[in-house]
Amino acid sequence: MFWEKDIETMDGDQLYRMQLERLRNTVESASRSSYYGKLFKEKDIHVENIKTLADLRNIPMTTKEDLRKEWPYGFLAASKDDIVRMHSSSGTTGRATVIFHTMKDIDCWTNQLARCMYMAGLRKSDVFQNMMTYALFTGGLGFHYGAEKLGAMVIPAGPGNSKRQIQLMRDFDTTAIHIIPSYALHLTTVFEEVGVDPIKDTRLRIAFIGAEPHSEKMRRRIEDFYGVKSFNSYGLSEMSGPGVAFECPEQNGLHIWEDAYLVEIIDPVTLEPLPDGQEGELVMTTLNREGMPILRYRTQDLPRIIPGTCPCGRTHRRIERIKGRTDDMMILKGVNTFPIQIEKKLMDIAGVGNNFQIILERKGFNDDMIVKVEVQREYFTGDLKELESLRRTIVNELKSDILITPQVELVEPESLPRTEGKAKRVLDNRED
């Protein structure tokens, strides 16, 4: 049941002492980076002054913008000779961010993923089919290494090629999968198309789902169709990747590993700390990373700590499923998209007017994006071919940037709703 029982069930006093020692080490390591070295000097921060965990609040928070400004090596706290891997964000909303790992960092992250997967029931005898993207994205590699450490046989299938995914499941007796929830639902139609019943015709029993928000209803639909128990994962590349928090068999919140992270929930406006049970912005500090420690990172995610203990026996606190972010990021088919990306593209296309609206809808198991675009008045000349050409241009330009194909509808100037305040660019009609 436990991968590391002594750590997973550690009492509060023991955990506090471990966190304080690791925090001091982290602050000392961070001071070797150019960013924190300069910051500590300006704020007169010294590791000797860290006497309690509450002293962490004397250190300013770190934002994604800080990481961007310090691209590429401003947060590096170890010698480049000791770095064995880097992961980077896509940079879709500006300059990308990068995270560096030493071998020890990779080992710690791998062990953390093994702990998560073992907690959910994966064992050495399992066959694990990883259907996530590899490369710079942390999701694929994190689970891959975690499953291997646990001793399971890994099939690095990657995403897409649905019929081959099903064939792999059947030919190699896959028992566990790692998959984006919307793709898991899309795959149900392919199972039906090829006449394969995953409950009768495969040995699937576990699904690890994550990388995009999903509802409890969607989880249950996946479990019912595949005959599996599915577990939600939370992570972000700035904190190494997936496995920051994970569901246990109780499926009532995600245990956030407090031996590896210090966790704060703050009011995103006042920045004041909030008590357990109250929803706010998640702020995290790494405690085990030496290549690129990050202090008080504002994740922009908005969970709450679930008060009370978990029947599973683990003492690490639980967060609720992430319901939103402090920014306006949209996630479709596992791709992060921001309205500003669409606006920037549209404004570069001749014939596009001054207003647009994004509508998100769920049809069956798929999420769709509809972009209504006002057209400049001179384009309404009755020439349908010209309008169709403009529509196709917009579709192709948006697809090249946001990596998904939106439906584009051209509308007359001034026909979209306007407000006196901030424009409401996104209508999210997905109900579950």
Q: Which tens digit of pLDDT belongs to each residue from 360-409? A: 888 877 888 999 998 887 777 777 888 899 999 999 999 888 888 999 99
For the chain, the residue count is 432
Confidence class for position 269, pLDDT limits 50, 70, 90: confident
Strands 241-247 and 305-306, how do they pair? Answer: unpaired
**Whether residue 233 has pLDDT greater than 80:** yes
Mean pLDDT of 254-270: 96
Pairing of strands 330-332, 318-319: unpaired
Q: What angle separates helix 138-150 from helix 103-120, to the nearest 10 degrees?
A: 70
Radius of gyration of the chain (CA): 23
Residue pair 81/102 in contact by the 8 Å Cβ criterion: no
Within 8 A by CB and 6+ apart from 30, the residues are: 36, 40, 77, 293, 294, 295
Q: Quick check: 47 pLDDT over 70? A: yes
What is the C-alpha to C-alpha distance for residues 49 and 58, in angstroms, rounded to an integer?
A: 10
* pLDDT for res 296: 98
Q: Is the pLDDT of residue 421 over 50?
A: no
Residue 420 predicted with pLDDT over 50: no
How would you classify residue 158: left for phi > 0, otherwise alpha for psi between -120 and 50, otherwise beta?
A: left
User: What is the C-alpha separation between 127 and 177, in angstroms, rounded?
Assistant: 8
Q: How many helices, marked H, and strands, marked E, lie in the chain?
A: 12, 20
Whole-angstrom Cα distance, residue 378 to residue 387?
Answer: 11
Inter-residue contact 33 to 66 (CB < 8 Å): no
Residue 94's pLDDT band (boundaries 50, 70, 90)? low
Alpha-helix runs per DSSP H in 202-338: 216-226
Phi and psi of 293, rounded to 5°?
-65, 145
Residue 93 has pLDDT above 60, yes or no: no
Helix (H) or strand (E) run with residue 363 in it? strand 352-363
Say which range, 108-112, 120-124, 210-214, has the weakest mean pLDDT.
210-214
- The neighbouring-strand residues paired with 229 are 206
| Distance of alpha carbon 149 from alpha carbon 122, whole angstroms | 11
Mean pLDDT in residue range 157-165: 91
Which of 243, 233, 208 lies closest to 223, judged by CA?
A: 208
Q: Are 367 and 332 in contact (CB under 8 A)?
A: yes
CA atoms within 13 A on the CB side of 277: 4
User: What φ, ψ does residue 394 adopt, rounded to 5°?
Assistant: -65, -45
DSSP 8-state secondary structure symbol assigned to residue 322: P
pLDDT of the residue at 376: 83
Model confidence at 423: pLDDT above 70: no
Does the pLDDT value for residue 309 go beyond 60? yes
Per the CB < 8 A criterion, the answer to whether 332 and 369 are in contact is yes
Whether residue 102 is predicted with pLDDT greater than 60 in this model: the reply is: yes
Q: Residue 201 corresponds to which amino acid?
A: D
Torsion over CA: 191, 204, 144, 250 (sign): positive
Higher pLDDT, 167 or 368: 167
Q: What is the pLDDT of residue 138?
A: 87
**pLDDT above 90 for 265:** yes
Mean pLDDT (whole number) for 70-90: 93
Between the ranges 89-98, 244-253, 367-376, where is the mean pLDDT highest? Answer: 244-253
User: What pLDDT is stored for residue 372 in this prediction?
Assistant: 94
DSSP 8-state assignment for residue 144: H
Q: How much is the average pLDDT of 209-214?
A: 74
In this structure, the number of other CB atoms found within 10 A of the CB of residue 175 comes to 22
When the pLDDT of each residue in the chain is averaged and rounded to a whole number, the result is 90
Cα separation, 107 vs 147, whole angstroms = 13
Q: Is 417 helix (H, G, I), strand (E, B) or coil?
A: coil
Confidence grade of residue 90 (pLDDT, cut at 50, 70, 90): low
Alpha-carbon span 234 to 18, nearest angstrom: 23
pLDDT at 344: 74
Which range is least confidently modeled, 18-27, 60-69, 79-88, 299-308?
Answer: 299-308
323 has pLDDT over 90: no
As a whole number of angstroms, the distance between CA 111 and CA 116 comes to 9
